[in-house]
C-alpha cells in the first residue's frame, strides 16, 4: 500500500469535458482507490443533477463487485455497498469496464491528486492544460496499442 489518489471526469455525449475532480486519499491499495474514485464521482454526479450516467472503471473487479457479477467471500466492502445504494436511487446508471488505455484521463487526474496539499476533493471546472491532449485523443478516437500474450 502506498499513497493513493482518485480522479474522474464528466463528459457530454460527444466526449467533451463538463467537469472533473481529483482527491488525494492517503494510504490504500489500488482497488480501494478505484472505489473512492467511483463513489466520489457518483456523489458529484448526483449533486450536479445528472440523471443518466455511464460509470467507467478500468478495474474489472470493482465493476463486477458493484454489479453483483462476482461472489464476495465474506463482507461486502462498505464503499461497494454505498455505490450500490447510489445506483438504486431514482436515476439511470450503467457500469462499464474500460481498459486502462481507455481510462487515461481519469488515471491522469488520480496522479494529479497526489500533487495536491489537501485531502479535500478538488473540483475542476476546466481541464488542466496537461490533460487537454489526452482529452483530445479520446474525442478524436486515437487508438492505443495493447499488448496481449498469445500462448500456442
pLDDT at res. 103:
83
Select the CATH number that applies to the domain covering 2-140 from these four: 3.90.420.10, 3.40.50.1980, 3.40.50.300, 3.30.420.10: 3.30.420.10
pLDDT at residue 10 tops 80:
yes
The per-residue pLDDT for range 87-141, each reduced to its tens digit, is 999 899 999 999 877 789 999 999 999 999 999 999 999 999 998 988 887 777 6
Residue with grid cell 466520489, as numbered in its chain: 40
Task: Reduce the DSSP state of residue 151 to 3 states and report it.
Answer: coil
What are 7's strand-pairing partners? Answer: 22
Contact (CB, 8 A) for 30 and 60: no
pLDDT at res. 148:
61
pLDDT at res. 137:
78
pLDDT at residue 12 tops 60:
yes
Mean predicted confidence (pLDDT) in 10-32: 93
pLDDT at res. 110:
94
- State the distance between the two ends of the chain, measured CA to CA, in whole angstroms: 36
pTM above 0.75, yes or no: yes
d(CA 115, CA 132): 18
pLDDT at residue 145 tops 70:
no
pLDDT at res. 21:
96
pLDDT at residue 43 tops 60:
yes
d(CA 52, CA 11): 12
The per-residue pLDDT for range 53-94, each reduced to its tens digit, is 999 999 999 999 999 888 777 778 899 999 999 999 989 999
Phi, psi of 121 (to 5 degrees): -70, 130
Task: Reduce the DSSP state of residue 53 to 3 states and report it.
Answer: strand
Amino acid at each position: 500500500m502506498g499513497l493513493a489518489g482518485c480522479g474522474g471526469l464528466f463528459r457530454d455525449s460527444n466526449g467533451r469535458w463538463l467537469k472533473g475532480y481529483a482527491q488525494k486519499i492517503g494510504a490504500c491499495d489500488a482497488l480501494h482507490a478505484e472505489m473512492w474514485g467511483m463513489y466520489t464521482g457518483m456523489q458529484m454526479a448526483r449533486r450536479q443533477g445528472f440523471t443518466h450516467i455511464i460509470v467507467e472503471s478500468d478495474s474489472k473487479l470493482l465493476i463486477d463487485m458493484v454489479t453483483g457479477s462476482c461472489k464476495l467471500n465474506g463482507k461486502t466492502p462498505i464503499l461497494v455497498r454505498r455505490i450500490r445504494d447510489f445506483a438504486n436511487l431514482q436515476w439511470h446508471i450503467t457500469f462499464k469496464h474500460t481498459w486502462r488505455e481507455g481510462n487515461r484521463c481519469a488515471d491522469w487526474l488520480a496522479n494529479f491528486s497526489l500533487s495536491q496539499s489537501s485531502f479535500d476533493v478538488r473540483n475542476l471546472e476546466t481541464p488542466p492544460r496537461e490533460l487537454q491532449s489526452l482529452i483530445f485523443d479520446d474525442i478524436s478516437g486515437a487508438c492505443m496499442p495493447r499488448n496481449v500474450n498469445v500462448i500456442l
